[in-house]
Homo-oligomer: A and B are copies of this chain.
Amino acid sequence: MRLTSKGRYAVMALVDLARFDGINPVSLRDISLRQGISLDYLEQIFSKLRKKEIVQSVRGTQGGYILNRKAKEIKLTNIFDAVDEKVKTVQCKKESKKGCNGKSTKCLTHNLWDELETHINNFFDKKSLDDLVKENLERRL
């Protein structure tokens, strides 16, 4: 089970953005340089973040991106959701009425995976972008 780099980069980029937020828009070029993420890839990611209204874009010279909500109100869940980073533990969800492996009952471990998903999502629901920025500032001191 692994986290994809899209999700990881999205969070890294947003933490970077959040630290500079409030003064000027932050350009993807700057984030790319600071975080070592390819500019093209960042563009893909921010396109998704914009569609989900997590960031706003500012065009033109000195343009860039700004947060669309307060950092405290942006949870990891929102970010992962935006970039399609999903926690998938079972493949049998859709046909859960029919049962899992085409059988009439749920597979022996169905409940387990549901619990696991909930457990992980709890973590994501609690953490906000603001938490991350603060943790980061503390570490720097």
CA distance A87 to B86 in the complex (A): 15
Question: Which of chain B's residues have a CB closer than 8 A to the CB of A44?
Answer: none
Given the interface pairs A35-B107, A36-B102, the reply to whether A123 lies near B113 with Cβ below 8 Å is: no
CA distance A16 to B112 in the complex (A): 14
Number of copies: 2
Q: Are A85 and B123 in contact (CB under 8 A)?
A: no
Segment with Cβ contacts to B, from A4-12, A21-29, A67-75: A4-12
Task: Tell me the A residues contacting B by CB distance below 8 Å.
Answer: 1-5, 7-8, 11-12, 15-16, 35-36, 85-91, 101-103, 107-109, 111-113, 115-116, 119-120, 123, 127, 132, 135-136, 139
